[in-house]
Structure 1
Amino acid sequence: MLAPVIAGVDGSAESFAAAEWAAREAGRRDRPLLLLHARNWHPRQEGGESAGAARRRLARRVLRQAEERARRACPGVRLSDEQVEGPATAALLHAAEHAELLVLGSRGLSGFTGFLVGSVALGVVAKSASPVVLVRAGEEAGDEHLPAEDGSASDRTGYRDVVLGLDAGDPSDEVIEFAFEAARTRGARLRVLYVWQPPSALELGPGDVALAGRPQQTREWQGFLSAVLQVWRDKYPDVDLVECVPQGKASTALVRAASAAGLLVVGHRLAERPLGPRTGPVTHAVVHHVGCPVAVVPHA
């Protein structure tokens, strides 16, 4: 049985947008879609059986609404739904263990503020062993596509770029493969960014590339990135690949590159940190400030 695309739904506008995006992604991947609602029950809650029945009715209503939206987004999708007891973060993490990917909504804010990511989404991203995609409220099919000739939104044009933020010094096969597959299933261009910063004078040693001028440094990093991606270029010959090695701050460059993208892909190392599982600084920045859907792909 194929692992499903799972969308967590809670009745919010963000979660309904996530359900629609997940339906389209399930269609692209030829995977079933599971809509999951976690009833965030707590032992201290009162009300007995009547309160429990009310929570189940509310969950059923939320799932029906999400199902209607998902079927409109992708009429042919193989769809099922499920209610589980919370806490939501634990329930979603358990579901993600059996998922192709997990799709969640993030509270989007207007202007330059970007995502206001809830504690549930951040907790899932930090600990999930499966890819997690965060989708903002208002995300529509046309947002994934290039604008029509008159500048209007359209879902009949080609797909916008998939952007991959890559650490070329520690490349992850899981992250790279996710990005190439996303580009392949969309017929989209894949834009790979490796953002570098010159070392300080104290870090330089004899023969360091940083002693060269900036153009030569850029060429060196370009060659390094091309070498890292060569095996993937051979594996996915039909994917139009663009390699970029800008100098600067990684989070700033990725936010800028994602402004015209249909999907941003970043990696997240699964490692216990001193204060428990957390997202790294670049991942934390992009999930808060990028407007397009963000795929966070875990790796060892």
Structure 2
Amino acid sequence: MSHAVVVGVDGSEPSGAAAAWAAQEARRSGRPLRLIHAGAAEAFAPGEPHDEAELLPRAVLAVRDRIARTLPDLEITCRHVSGNPAYVLAAAGARDGLLVVGSRGSGGFTGLLVGSIALRTAARAHCPVVLVRAGADGGEAASGEVVVGLDSARPCGELLAFAFGQAAARGAALRVLESRTVPVGPYVTEAPLDQREIRDSLAAAELTRLQDTLAPWREKFPEVRVEAEVTAWPAGRALVEASRGASLTVVGRRTSGLHAAAPWLGGVTHAVLHHAHGPVAVVPHD
């Protein structure tokens, strides 16, 4: 079941939105859907018989039943797992799965996945984690573009593979953003060029490098229409603005180097998680 779409549910509105998003993703990708309720279980007397469903809140069972009615052909399991929610969900996603959790955006996380728990889940998981906020743009039926932030100086295969794959599965365009600031100058050259021409030439060179980075992926996913853009805006601000109307915004999380010893979300990823206008996918990579 490692290839399943796993979603954390607690019966709250944000987790309901996450479950609906996860169900559509499971249907689209042909994978089973696993609903996980994590935390403390209902207390029973030693040896007292009880059914697994008794460990689940009615609101969680209602979410399961609603998805089953809407997508009757979808393989669904729903279970309670005792333990710290961040650890439980990160483990449930495994390496080859996709983990989905509910989010309130800049106000934090409600219900079981409260603030730091959801952020710690995204920082610990070995698979991509999608955070979904109830009532935000880019919900389960959204048909907007997929947005991804990239550094062409250190291109990440895992990040691009996920973003291109999501765009292909959705039949959506992929918008690739890179934040680069061209120095103001002044520039000294032997050629008779004014300062504006030099800056434009340097900006064009940055865009060419980005296009070169994307070339192999365009060949691998010829059906995906790609829009590459180099912006002078800070990366976090650029991605938050681009997330308006997007079906998904994709950011990375480094797991090697200085960040290998402890779970960590970078500043850009942290900002996008709190302020994006739609679902955000966090992809772990070396």
TM-score by length of 1: 0.81
Shift of 1:90: 1.1
**2:95–2:126: 8 Å Cα contact kept in structure 1?**
no
Give 3-state SS (helix, strand or coil) of 1:213's partner.
helix
Q: What CA distance in whole angstroms lies between the structure 2 residues aligned with 1:205 and 1:124?
A: 50
Aligned residue in 1 for 2:214: 229
Give 3-state SS (helix, strand or coil) of 1:245's partner.
strand
Q: Does 1:116 align with 2:108?
A: yes
**1:36–1:84: 8 Å Cα contact kept in structure 2?**
yes
Distance change (3 Å), C-alpha of 1:88 and 1:265: same
**1:268–1:296: 8 Å Cα contact kept in structure 2?**
yes
Distance change (3 Å), C-alpha of 1:291 and 1:72: farther
Q: What CA distance in whole angstroms lies between the structure 1 residues aligned with 2:128 and 2:83?
A: 21
Q: Does 1:183 align with 2:167?
A: yes
Give 3-state SS (helix, strand or coil) of 2:201's partner.
helix
Q: What CA distance in whole angstroms lies between the structure 2 residues aligned with 1:189 and 1:69?
A: 31
Question: Which digits, 9 at most, give the CA deviation of each residue in 1:179-213, with x for residues without a partner?
Answer: 00100011001111111123587xx9999xxx873
Aligned residue in 2 for 1:148: none
Distance change (3 Å), C-alpha of 1:26 and 1:217: same
Aligned residue in 2 for 1:31: 31
Alignment of 1:1-300 (within 5 A): 3-40=3-40, 49=45, 57=54, 59-72=56-69, 74-97=71-94, 99-108=96-105, 114=106, 116-117=108-109, 118-138=115-135, 144-145=141-142, 159-198=143-182, 213-271=198-256, 273=259, 276-300=262-286
Q: What CA distance in whole angstroms lies between the structure 2 residues aligned with 1:57 and 1:185?
A: 37
Give 3-state SS (helix, strand or coil) of 1:129's partner.
coil
**1:165–1:266: 8 Å Cα contact kept in structure 2?**
yes
Give 3-state SS (helix, strand or coil) of 2:36's partner.
strand
Shift of 1:53: 7.0
Q: What CA distance in whole angstroms lies between the structure 2 residues aligned with 1:261 and 1:141?
A: 6
Distance change (3 Å), C-alpha of 1:245 and 1:262: same
Unmatched 5+ residue regions in structure 1?
109-113, 146-158
Distance change (3 Å), C-alpha of 1:88 and 1:194: same
The amino acid that maps onto 1:242 is E
Shift of 1:55: 10
Once structures 1 and 2 are overlaid, which stretch shifts more, 48-57 or 63-72?
A: 48-57
The amino acid that maps onto 2:215 is Q
**1:162–1:179: 8 Å Cα contact kept in structure 2?**
yes
**1:184–1:239: 8 Å Cα contact kept in structure 2?**
yes
Give 3-state SS (helix, strand or coil) of 1:34's partner.
strand
Q: What CA distance in whole angstroms lies between the structure 1 residues aligned with 2:233 and 2:28?
A: 35
C-alpha RMSD of the superposition: 3.1
Shift of 1:273: 3.8
The amino acid that maps onto 1:189 is A
Q: What CA distance in whole angstroms lies between the structure 2 residues aligned with 1:280 and 1:52?
A: 47
Give 3-state SS (helix, strand or coil) of 1:219's partner.
helix
Shift of 1:136: 0.3
Q: What CA distance in whole angstroms lies between the structure 1 residues aligned with 2:276 and 2:138?
A: 17
Shift of 1:128: 1.1
Once structures 1 and 2 are overlaid, which stretch shifts more, 281-290 or 254-263?
A: 254-263
Shift of 1:140: 8.2
Aligned residue in 2 for 1:111: none
Q: What CA distance in whole angstroms lies between the structure 2 residues aligned with 1:287 and 1:140?
A: 14
Identity %: 40
Unmatched 5+ residue regions in structure 2?
110-114
Shift of 1:275: 8.8
